[in-house]
Structure 1
Amino acid sequence: MIVAVAAFSLMDMLLKLLTAHYPPLEVAVLRGAASLPFMLLPVLLRGRWRELRPHRPGIHLLRSALYVVSLVGFIFGVRALSLANAYAVFLSAPLFVAALSGPLLKERISTGNWAAILIGLAGVLVILRPSAESLATWGALAALAAAVGYALSVIAIRVLTRTDSTASVVFWTVSLMTLFTALLAAPGWVPIAPAHGYWLLALGVLAAIAQYLFTEAFRSAPPAVIAPFEYTSLLWGVGLDRLVWHVLPSARVLLGGGVVIASGLYLICHEHARASPEPGVLSWKWTTEKGRMLRRSAGVEVTAARQQKEESP
């Protein structure tokens, strides 16, 4: 998982470098176009094209639109901010996932979780540094919009994965995102310099490596064990900022980022404790659905088990 996060961070570094030469919308197009062939490679090698069939086209469109908001917002953020500053704001996404799961997925949110969410959002305010003159920089607000868009897209994924394969979700999200951003970027398109071809190739390779390792990490261990390592992206951001741009985050950003991360870790640990299977109920690895055995995360599986109990006469 640490290597996956490192690959994502290197990919974000390339995105930031590209924003110095191309508009953010065009960078989003390049990111999607560069990664799509590598994401399709496993399906091509296995010849399982049926896995790409969408069962809920409307939700795929919605999820892709949310992903556009998330990716373009993040690119605007890293264009204006350092990687570490953008990460510190973007890492608030799990807080929004937890907060929005209540009204959108009808999930119960405990008092402790609400307290963690509010404390984490206070950490975001520390990073944004609101004042009488200005709430925050446009870059910070763009990163915050990216976090909200990402949180909503995660909730959409939780709905999609009930009927669609992982390959289908990834393919249609990236394909539609690339199409949407290409239409928006077309009027101000800047020709690609040949020298940046290597950067685009690296983008695609890093995206494939990161996605593969990310998936394998969650396949091999419970989410509560793996998810905290995602927060190491802030460390990678600090290191890359220092190495490439020779800057370091302020103490205020580190303090606010620490509060956000601590709140996120609390939510992860609390959810793991709540979702631990009862004796005699399914283990975290497997659950039966429609006669097939499907690999699940702890939260999804326990939810299915509870629904099965409620539906039993």
Structure 2
Amino acid sequence: MPPTNQLRLAYWLGGAFALAAAFSFSLQDALVKWLSNDYALLQLLLVRSAIMVPTFALICLTRWGHHGLVTHRPGAHLLRAGFNLVAFLSYYYAISRMPLVDALSIASAYPLILILLSGIVLAEIPNARQIMAIVAGFVGVLFIIQPTGDHVDWIGAGAALFGCLAFAGLAVHTRYLSKTESSELMLLTGASCILVLSLISAPWTWQTPTVNDWLLMLGLSVTGLFGQYGLTSSFRYAPVYLVGSLEYTALVWAALWGYLLFNDIPTPIVMAGAALVVASGLAVVLSERRKSA
């Protein structure tokens, strides 16, 4: 296969992983918001990571053997795990306080931070058309959030913004680390660190779930599993700014879950913003297709 075709295939594969991750994470967010009324966030992280750790360990052993569990860069893995923990804990706290679309709209600003970080750290400079598409996507985010002055939850918004910064660091570090480390090992180390912390807190946070809530927590874990794998794999195949642009589509899903589960009815402005977000992501993909053709 010619190099240009290989590059094109890699970008489309990375884009597909990013879209799947956006859907999975949006459903996970809805489950977190639903369950956070009755359970501590660290308990939700405990159940989630307790399923992820053995799953990723098994995948590592199956694909790579015992060598798949070995790394010569433990410090880099620990740094990524720290970004991962801070990002998810901050964001979960935000969506436990705010409507899904509001929290995700703030967190969705992180692709703009990625442009700066990826240019400085990874030397992946987007072209003018891609920058315009990403800015258009952010305008769509502003349409969706519609700041309401005194009605804004500034604590929740601050948590979402802090999570946004951590997600940007996580994305860039994942792209950097994926040059030598497998996606499965990165996911395993990240989930293991969350599992250890949540186990330490369990004596103070644990409440025995009902049967229905156990099923919802299982769903939370499965969607998180697919989301983590899809996001990490997307950075292996595609540049950071491409993945970040496609993740805007999670806003559309957030609006849908908000309507179906929490009776949050999107306004015409929100729908227009969602359309602009999706259009900007598609524009970036088409730009990459033309560039690699």
Q: How does the TM-score come out when normalised to structure 1?
A: 0.69
AA aligned to 2:85 is V
Q: Distance in 1 between matches of 2:257 and 2:285?
A: 27
Structure 1, residues 87-144: CA drift from partner, whole Å, max 9, x if none? 3333333222112212333444555555555565555555555687687632233223
Cα distance, 1:97–1:217 mapped onto 2, change above 3 Å: closer
Give matches, 1:136-155, under 5 Å.
137-155=154-172
> Greater CA radius of gyration, 1 or 2?
1
* Post-superposition CA distance 1:195-233 (Å, at most 9, x none): 3322232233333445566778899x9789988764442
The share of aligned pairs that are identical, in percent, is 30
Note the aligned Cα RMSD (angstroms). Answer: 3.8
Change (3 A) 1:78 1:102: same
* 1:189 counterpart letter in structure 2: T
C-alpha contact 1:125 1:256 (8 A) present in aligned 2 = yes
Whole-angstrom distance in 1 between the partners of 2:277 and 2:159: 17
User: Match for residue 192 of structure 1?
Assistant: 208
Deviations 1:248-296 (A, max 9, x none): 234555555555555555555545555x28xxxxxxxxxxxxxxxxxxx
Shift of 1:67: 1.0
Amino acid at match of 1:30: V
Q: 2:8 maps to what in 1? A: none
The reply on whether 1:248 has 2:265 as its aligned counterpart is yes
Matched, 1:166 2:165: no
3-state SS of paired residue (2:264)? coil
Q: Which amino acid aligns with 2:258?
A: D
Contact 2:174 2:232 in 1 (8 A): no
Q: 1:51 is matched with which residue? A: 68
Secondary structure at 1:20's aligned position in 2? coil
Deviations 1:161-202 (A, max 9, x none): 12212221111111123324554x457413232433222322
**Aligned with residue 194 of structure 2, among 171, 177, 196:** 177
Is contact 2:111–2:168 with CA below 8 Å preserved after alignment?
yes
Query: Is the contact made by 1:89 and 1:257 (CA closer than 8 Å) also made in structure 2?
Result: no
Name the amino acid aligned to 2:117: L
Matching of residues 28-43 of structure 1 within 5 Å: 28-43=45-60
Check the 8 A contact 1:92/1:120 in 2, yes or no.
Answer: no
Equivalent residue number for residue 207 of structure 1: 224
Tell me how far apart the structure 2 counterparts of residues 132 and 199 of structure 1 sit (CA, whole Å).
34
Secondary structure, aligned partner of 1:163: coil
1:239 aligns with 2:256: yes
Contact kept, 8 Å, 2:51 with 2:221, in 1: the verdict is yes
Could you say if the C-alpha distance between residues 133 and 191 of structure 1 is closer, same or farther in structure 2, counting changes exceeding 3 Å?
closer
**Shift in CA distance, 121/47, structure 1 to aligned 2, threshold 3 Å:** closer
One of 100, 105, 111 as aligned partner of 1:88: 105
2:87 corresponds to which of 48, 64, 70 = 70
Unaligned runs of 5+ in 2: 1-15
Q: Which position in structure 2 is the counterpart of 1:300?
A: none
- Bigger relative contact order, structure 1 or 2, given CA contacts below 8 A and separation 6+? 2
How far apart in 1 are the matches of 2:21 and 2:135?
A: 29
Given that 1:67 and 1:173 are in contact with CA atoms closer than 8 Å, whether structure 2 keeps it comes out as yes
Q: In the alignment, which of 26, 35, 49 is matched to residue 43 of structure 2?
A: 26
Moved more, 73-82 or 198-207: 198-207
SS in 2 for 1:48: helix
Q: 1:225 to 1:108 in 2, by over 3 A?
A: closer
Higher helix fraction (1 or 2): 2
Give per-residue Cα distances to partners, 1:285-310, cap 9 Å, x unaligned: xxxxxxxxxxxxxxxxxxxxxxxxxx
Distance 1:214 1:118, change over 3 A: closer
**Matches of 2:269 and 2:54 in 1, distance apart?**
41
Paired amino acid for 1:8: F
CA distance in 1, matches of 2:147, 2:256: 27
TM-score, normalisation: structure 2 = 0.73
Distance (whole Å) between structure 2 residues aligned to residue 134 and residue 194 of structure 1:
34
Q: Please state how far the C-alpha of 1:153 moved relative to its aligned partner.
A: 0.5
